[in-house]
Amino acid sequence: MEELSLLQKISIWVLPVVFAITVHEVAHGWVAKLLGDRTAEAQGRLTLNPLNHIDPVGTLLVPGLMLLFSGFVFGWAKPVPVNWGRLHNPKRDTGLVAVAGPAANLMMIVFWILLSRLAIAMNLALLSRPLLFMAAAGIFINSMLMLLNLLPLPPLDGGRVMSSLLPVRLSIKFDKLEPYGFIILIILMVTNALSMILGGPLNLVLGLSMELAGIPFGVLRLLLSSSS
């Protein structure tokens, strides 16, 4: 397969990334509404319109720089506001609201797998190739978001799930890590520890998903290669 230009990569990555981070955040707000907190709905955040969720740094600057220098895209949206005290059972429901984001990413992996299979079945020259590349990008970004957010580190979703499962005293102590969560995450990234932690699970999820989608790994390698 020939290498992709920067413009081609942008056209491939933009929809899967925006879709992934938008649905992830909406899922938090939707489950929070079901469990008693309508804050996200009141602020107009229960919408799939990406303009309502754009974070200038996480949705625009960081993905753009990563695409330019690393060949693939990663980003985040503005967190959906949740008033944890309004939930029916704050300790239990906090975990349910938190896990909704990664669960949404898992459902989107399934969506991209099905779309890839549809593209292969259609076998339309003008559509199947772009859809396969877009599906590979969707599988990758949603796998990354799902696994990263499942790390048991506050304020990531996995940290909130862990807090909801711990006994109250331990939960209070664990929550005190939240102000330092992103600092810890950056340290893990710089020391390459994050790659060691997520590498195995990510390869497993990607391997299974790409096989089910019928997408050659060469497609993903092209998407992840540095742009010339």
Catalytic entry in 2, 25, 178, 211: 25
Closest among 85, 112, 109, 108 to 97, alpha carbons compared: 85
Residues 143 and 17: beta-carbon distance below 8 Å: no
Give residues with Cβ within 8 angstroms of 184, minimum separation 6.
153, 177
Six-digit token string for 188: 């893990």
Residues 58 and 112: beta-carbon distance below 8 Å: no
CA distance linking residue 114 with residue 213, whole number of Å? 7
- Decide if 25 is catalytic: yes
**DSSP character string of 73-134:** -----PPPP--GGGSSSHHHHHHHHHHHHHHHHHHHHHHHHHHHHHHHHH--HHHHHHHHHH
Compute the half-sphere exposure of residue 161: CA atoms within 13 Å on the CB side of its CA: 16
CA distance linking residue 117 with residue 67, whole number of Å? 26
Buried-exposed string 107-136: b where 16+ CB fall within 10 A, e elsewhere: ebbebbbebbeebeeeeeeeebeebbbbbb
- Residues listed for the chain: 228
Residues recognised as catalytic: 25
